[in-house]
Structure 1
């Protein structure tokens, strides 16, 4: 409970720091800045009140950031122990084993599906591991997290494109998800109508001999912003509760 209270306080202090100096981690010499005039007091406390509902909304997201940071740290620790090449080998062995098992027990089209998914997963995992070890929060947010999300979401879609059985399970829900995103998040400014007029999700790519390319690009388009979002939540978690204090 004490940790929760401290997190909320620091989250609100971060909000205050946007406008007023020395709110988050003030120096021991100068201390926390406080308003000195009536005008400053009105602005200070008004800004504090405006921040309260934002903190209430942001705190659950902060918890997501803590959880993401925890599991990302576990993966990063594993990559540190075995190296990027080792992580790629492990991913290749796991997915390769799954492909072999599929070959022994399921029809050939299932083998093709798992093999295609394996290739996508291994390549995406390699990029995610590589960029995570380059160092720097910016690189991690910009590249490592999006590739990690791609490694998670894209393999099933690739498998569905080459397997009729999986196609029926994955592509129709993907189509419905795309329609929902267009009708909600992308309805601002007529973006949805522009996209609908320019692309057909089900047929895009066929003109280049790449059927299903629309679904692949759709899930990349979901994975990348989601990776950025999670990366920013981790950055917020590091600001509110540095990793060594977690």
Structure 2
């Protein structure tokens, strides 16, 4: 595609997919997308990753390796449906306390319902708030996780600064996001699938293809692995690194508050 990725200097603030919008407009447009897809969000991730997002999330939580002891607190940002939070609780043998934060009430409604069915109400707290202005005191959490959400935040630098603020010294930041495919043959196949098939499948499955068009465009605009890692370092994190999944279709970034 001819559209260029944004860089470590920014640009996502006014990028609603490939459309340029006013800096104050993006959040409302993104909210509307997720109100429309909330009930089919996990299906959406299946469509966009060929089901691989489940394995990537397992890898994310395995790298986090939450301890099997009481008192461990994690924040799952943009995690409305609870997919990552449930895995953190399971990996901690039911010891972790996870706050699921999302700006979208529809997404949180799906997560609460799923949590009740799984009997995890005692481990999870659901909070509707903005990743750019977290409603928590400094040094509140041992871990901050965000999966497939940060590219939808208008001011990514503010979200990263907030992540650093609410983590305790020694706390871990993990971000799983669709990224820059680093294998040319795979990149062409994935791009064809994303731009031509996913919106069509979304139209068939949900009756609405436009949200899916935005989501695949937003992937193409998001900074590549190196530029996003630079943004994480700029927020104050140390030992910043990343792991590519499936040739870079997704990347898992890690940083520590030291």
TM-score under structure 2 normalisation? 0.25
Which structure has the greater CA radius of gyration?
A: 1
**Larger relative helix fraction:** 1
**Larger relative strand fraction:** 2
